[in-house]
């Protein structure tokens, strides 16, 4: 039987791997466009010209931005690392976190087919099970 810490860490690894994998793939496929931001200035990623019709290049820049640093990848990595750290300290996730991650990735998986987002759903389920086990263990200790 897996412990709460193991379940939590498996979920953390899944979230971190999804985020890192996403950033690696976008860098492989659109890295040259991201390097253009350095030469054009970071504001070239999402230009703030209000009221003007966006050019094709501006639209491509926006797509690459929202698929890279503006995507779910960085929050996913941060949440995965946080959960890994909390598991090491013996702090179980809240049930709310498990549900939030599960619903968030379920929506991503349904909207962006094909997608490895199912791994995020699995991570959320691991967090739900870890939270439930921690709650049951604390009730058993209280008796």
Asked if 109 and 118 touch (Cβ cutoff 8 Å), the reply is yes
**Which residue has 């490895």 as its token pair?**
116
Q: What percent of the chain has pLDDT over 70?
A: 90
CA 120 to chain centre: 8
What is the C-alpha separation between 30 and 85, in angstroms, rounded?
32
Q: Please state which of the ranges 40-54, 93-107, 123-137 shows the lowest mean pLDDT.
A: 40-54
Please write the tens of the pLDDT for every residue from 62-73: 788 888 888 889
Q: Is 46 helix (H, G, I), strand (E, B) or coil?
A: coil
Q: Which of 98, 119, 133 is nearest to 6 (CA)?
A: 133
Rounded distance between C-alpha atoms, residue 95 and residue 99, angstroms: 6
pLDDT of residue 81: 97
More confidently predicted of 97 and 40: 97
CA distances in angstroms from 11 to 51, 109, 128, 129, listed in the order given: 44, 17, 10, 10
pLDDT score of 143: 77
Tell me whether residue 43 is exposed, middle or buried, using C-beta atoms within 10 angstroms of its C-beta: 0 to 12, 13 to 18, 19 or more: exposed
Tokens 């990595």 — which residue?
Answer: 77
Q: What is the pLDDT of residues 75-126, one digit of tens each?
A: 999 999 999 999 999 998 899 999 999 999 999 999 988 888 899 999 999 9
Q: Residue 131 in 3-state DSSP?
A: helix
**According to the model, what pLDDT value does residue 42 have?**
66
């Amino acid at each position: 039987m897996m412990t709460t810490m193991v379940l939590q860490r498996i979920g953390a690894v899944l979230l971190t791997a999804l985020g890192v994998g996403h950033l690696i793939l976008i860098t492989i496929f659109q890295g040259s466009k991201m390097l253009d931001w350095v030469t054009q200035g970071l504001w070239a990623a999402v230009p703030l010209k209000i009221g003007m019709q966006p050019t094709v290049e501006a639209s491509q820049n926006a797509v690459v931005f929202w698929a890279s640093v503006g995507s779910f990848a960085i929050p996913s990595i941060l949440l995965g690392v946080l959960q890994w750290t909390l598991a090491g300290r013996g702090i179980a996730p809240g049930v709310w976190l498990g549900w939030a991650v599960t619903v968030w990735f379920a929506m991503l998986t349904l909207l962006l087919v094909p997608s490895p987002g199912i791994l995020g759903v699995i991570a959320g389920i691991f967090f739900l099970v870890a939270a439930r086990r921690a709650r049951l263990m604390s009730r058993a200790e209280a008796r």
